[in-house]
Chains A and B, each alone.
Chain A
Amino acid sequence: MGFVRKYIFSTDHKVIGIQYIVTAIIMAFAGGGLAGLIRLQLSNPDGAIVSPETYLSLVTMHGTIMVFFVVSLGLVSGLGNFLIPLHVGARDMAYPLLNMLSYWTVVPACILMLLSFLAEGGAAAAGWTMYPPLSAVADSVPGSGMGTTLWLLSMALFIVSFTMGSLNFVATILNMRAPGLSMMRLPIVLWTYFISSILGLLSFPALTAAAIMLLFDRHLGTSFFLPAGMVFADHVLPNQGGTPLLFQHLFWFLGHPEVYVLVLPAIGVAFDVVATFTRRPPLGYRTTVYSLLLIAFLSMIVWAHHMFVTGMDPRVGKYFSVATVLITAPFGVLGVNLLLSLWKARMRFTVPMMFALGLISAIGAGGLGGLYLGTQTSDVYFHETYFVVGHFHLMIGTVTLLGTFAALYYWFPKMFGRHMSTALGKIHFWVTYPGMVAIFIMMHYQGLGGMLRRSYDPSVYDYNTPNLVLRLPITVIAFVVLAAQLVFVWNFFKSSIWGEKAPANPWDSASIEWQAASPPPHGNWGEAIPAVHRWPYDYRLPGASEEYLPQTTERA
Chain B
Amino acid sequence: MSETGAPQAGKHRAGKTPLLLAIAFVALAILVAFGFVVRRWQPLLASDHGAGVDEIISYLLLTTGVVFLVGHFVLGWCVWRFREGNGEANQTTFERPSKRVEWAWAAMPLILFVGVSEFGVVILGAPVWEKIYGDAPKDALHIEVVGKQFEWIVRYPGKDSKFGKVAPEYVNDADNPIGLDEDDADAQDDIVLRGEMHVPQGRPVVVSLRSHDVLHSFAITHFRVKQDLIPGFTSRAQFRTIRSGKFEIACAELCGLGHYKMRGFIHVEPEAQFKTWLDQQVGYFQ
**Chain A interface residues (CB < 8 Å from chain B):** 52-53, 56, 126-127, 131, 133-134, 137, 140-142, 226-234, 236, 242-245, 278-281, 283-284, 286-287, 290-291, 309-311, 314, 317-318, 321-322, 325-326, 328-333, 335-337, 339-340, 342-351, 354, 357, 360-361, 364-365, 368-369, 371-372, 374-378, 380-381, 383-385, 419-423, 425-426, 433-434, 437, 441-442, 444-446, 448-450, 452, 454-458, 460-463, 466-467, 499-500, 502-503, 506-508, 539-543, 547
Known contacts A365-B68, A542-B93; decide if A349 and B43 are in contact (CB<8 Å). no
Closest CB-CB distance, A371 to chain B, in whole Å? 6
The B61-82 residues at the A interface (CB cut-off 8 A) are 64, 67-68, 71-72, 74-75, 78-79, 82
Known contacts A371-B60, A384-B253, A463-B221; decide if A350 and B5 are in contact (CB<8 Å). yes
Flag if B263 contacts A460 (CB, 8 Å).
yes
Chain B residues with CB under 8 Å of A507's CB are 7
Closest CB-CB distance, A427 to chain B, in whole Å? 13
Flag if B168 contacts A354 (CB, 8 Å).
no
Flag if A229 contacts B60 (CB, 8 Å).
no
Closest CB-CB distance, B219 to chain A, in whole Å? 7
Additional 18 contacts, C-beta under 8 A, given A229-B231, A345-B82, A347-B83: A137-B214, A226-B231, A231-B148, A311-B209, A321-B125, A322-B122, A333-B110, A336-B105, A337-B105, A340-B105, A343-B78, A361-B25, A365-B32, A368-B67, A419-B6, A423-B3, A446-B41, A499-B4
Known contacts A140-B149, A422-B3, A450-B42; decide if A243 and B105 are in contact (CB<8 Å). no
Chain B residues with CB under 8 Å of A349's CB are 14-15, 17-18, 21, 83
Indicate whether B258 reaches chain A with its CB closer than 8 angstroms. Answer: yes
The B238-286 residues at the A interface (CB cut-off 8 A) are 248, 250-261, 263
Closest CB-CB distance, A527 to chain B, in whole Å? 28
Partner of A449 from the list B41, B92, B217 (CB cut-off 8 Å) is: B41
Indicate whether B90 reaches chain A with its CB closer than 8 angstroms. Answer: yes
Flag if B118 contacts A325 (CB, 8 Å).
yes
Flag if B260 contacts A456 (CB, 8 Å).
yes
Q: List 9 A-B contacts (CB under 8 A).
A: A227-B232, A230-B232, A318-B129, A372-B57, A378-B53, A422-B4, A434-B28, A454-B254, A542-B94
Chain B's interface size range is 35 or more
Flag if A375 contacts B103 (CB, 8 Å).
no
Flag if B109 contacts A333 (CB, 8 Å).
yes
Closest CB-CB distance, B23 to chain A, in whole Å? 11
Q: Mark B179-220, 1 if CB is under 8 A from A, else 0.
A: 100000000000000000000000000000100111101010
Closest CB-CB distance, B162 to chain A, in whole Å? 21
Flag if B254 contacts A126 (CB, 8 Å).
yes
Flag if A140 contacts B214 (CB, 8 Å).
yes
Chain B residues with CB under 8 Å of A229's CB are 167-168, 212, 231-232
Partner of A345 from the list B78, B110, B122, B129 (CB cut-off 8 Å) is: B78
Flag if A539 contacts B94 (CB, 8 Å).
yes
Chain B residues with CB under 8 Å of A460's CB are 260-261, 263
Q: Which residue of A lies closest to B227 (CB)?
A: A309
Chain B residues with CB under 8 Å of A540's CB are 91-94
Flag if B168 contacts A278 (CB, 8 Å).
no
Flag if B60 contacts A372 (CB, 8 Å).
yes
Flag if A309 contacts B106 (CB, 8 Å).
no
Partner of B102 from the list A283, A385, A441 (CB cut-off 8 Å) is: A283
Flag if A322 contacts B260 (CB, 8 Å).
no
* Bound-complex Cα distance A142 to B256 (A): 9
Chain A residues with CB under 8 Å of B71's CB are 335, 339, 364
Indicate whether B136 reaches chain A with its CB closer than 8 angstroms. Answer: no
Closest CB-CB distance, A127 to chain B, in whole Å? 5
Q: Mark B118-162, 1 if CB is under 8 A from A, else 0.
A: 101110111011101110000000000000110000000000000
Flag if B79 contacts A357 (CB, 8 Å).
yes
Flag if B252 contacts A384 (CB, 8 Å).
yes
Flag if A342 contacts B75 (CB, 8 Å).
yes
Partner of B78 from the list A228, A339, A351, A457 (CB cut-off 8 Å) is: A339
Flag if B106 contacts A284 (CB, 8 Å).
yes
Closest CB-CB distance, B267 to chain A, in whole Å? 14
Flag if B105 contacts A287 (CB, 8 Å).
yes
Flag if B35 contacts A445 (CB, 8 Å).
yes
